[in-house]
């Protein structure tokens, strides 16, 4: 075990999967000599060559389309979109083709593509480099959506995504790349797609979060602990398929639920978790299900004071915890 950064865990997964399976390839903007805009593919081209590490044109629809064609011909492609904000031109290829491949073929063939996308807000990245896209793709049957919050999960879930016979949207919160560190085995291991993880045990209230919001939620739980509020924090980590059993078990234990997500509050992914709890755990609840989401504005503002107004911080989560615990 070694303590490494989130981005290094992703890079390790690439190297190990390339060595394990000669059919694995990666394509995207600057993934070759540059090693990716964040360094996720650093060193791959020197070790495995240009036939498997492919610098693409600035054309996201083509990146997704080529990957789908590669998958249909026996390869296992990983695509990197430099920012999740730029994935929108590829929406039709991902949703209408990749996600529906198994369904349209009556289970005759799948589409083993991993769509990697750095997502979420970071300081100074403003509205064109900070979007949260998870709700769009979580809505579409046929594609799995994962959002790991730790280096261990980033490596293990990426390996599972690469080995999955169907398309996986792999979301990497940009703020975690170099801020979040954790112990990760150097050898081969996987984390199964599906199960959630309880990161902190508690008795008074459950928080459900993923990505960077998990870390802010853990910080908030620490803040309110001296006040006598015991908070359980559940890392959803796989958005589709959702681990409903773990979520409902936590609500049955604490009887209060707070869903925290960075996306716009209206129609965000957290609304689905809230609906699930309201429908299936209504009689366990001592208070209404509460959502803490981003403001309903077109994007994260560039101006520093407005950026701080937009971001969901541990202080804001702690305030939401106090209000819900008091009900």
Active-site positions read 129
SS (H, E, C) the chain: CEEEEHHHHHHHHHHHHHHHCCCEEEEECCCCCCCCCCCCCCCHHHHHCCCCEEECCCCHHHHHHHHHHHHHCCCEEEEECCCHHHHHHHHHHHHHHHCCHHHHCCCCCCCCCEEEEEECCCCCCCCCCCCCCHHHHHCCCCCEEECCCCHHHHHHHHHHHHHCCCCEEEEEECCHHHHCEEEECCCCCCCCCCCCEEEECCCCEEEEECCHHHHHHHHHHHHHHHHCCCEEEEECCEEECCCHHHHHHHHHHHCCEEEEEEEECCCCCHHHHHHHHHHHCHHHCCCCCEEEEECCCCCCCCCHHHHHHHCCCHHHHHHHHHHHHCC
């Amino acid at each position: 075990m070694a303590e490494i950064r989130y981005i290094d865990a992703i890079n390790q997964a690439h190297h190990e999967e390339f060595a394990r399976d000669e059919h694995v390839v990666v394509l995207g903007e600057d993934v070759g000599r540059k090693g990716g805009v964040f360094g996720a593919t650093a060193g791959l081209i020197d070790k495995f060559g240009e036939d498997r590490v492919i610098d693409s044109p600035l054309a996201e629809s083509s990146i997704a389309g080529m990957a789908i064609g590669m998958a249909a011909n026996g390869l296992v492609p990983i695509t990197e979109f430099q920012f999740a904000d730029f994935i929108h031109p590829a929406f039709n290829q991902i949703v209408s083709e990749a996600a529906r491949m198994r369904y349209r073929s009556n289970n005759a063939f799948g589409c083993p593509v991993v769509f990697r996308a750095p997502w979420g807000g970071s300081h100074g990245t403003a509205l064109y480099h900070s979007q949260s896209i998870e709700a769009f793709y979580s809505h579409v049957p046929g594609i799995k959506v994962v959002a790991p919050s730790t280096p261990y999960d980033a490596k293990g879930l990426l390996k599972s995504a690469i080995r999955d016979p169907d398309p996986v949207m792999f979301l990497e919160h940009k703020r975690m790349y170099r801020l979040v560190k954790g112990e990760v085995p150097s050898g081969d291991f996987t984390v199964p797609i599906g199960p959630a993880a309880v990161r902190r045990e508690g008795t008074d209230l459950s928080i459900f979060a993923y990505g960077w919001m998990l870390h802010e939620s853990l910080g908030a739980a620490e803040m309110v602990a001296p006040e006598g509020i015991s908070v359980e924090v559940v890392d959803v980590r796989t958005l589709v398929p959702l681990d409903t059993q773990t979520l409902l078990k936590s609500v049955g234990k604490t009887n209060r639920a707070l869903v925290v997500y960075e996306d716009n509050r209206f129609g965000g992914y957290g609304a689905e978790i809230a609906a699930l709890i309201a429908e299936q755990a209504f009689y366990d609840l001592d208070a209404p299900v509460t959502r803490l989401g981003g403001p309903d504005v077109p994007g994260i503002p560039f101006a520093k004071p407005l950026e701080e107004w937009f971001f969901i911080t541990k202080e804001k989560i702690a305030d939401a915890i106090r209000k819900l615990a008091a009900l």
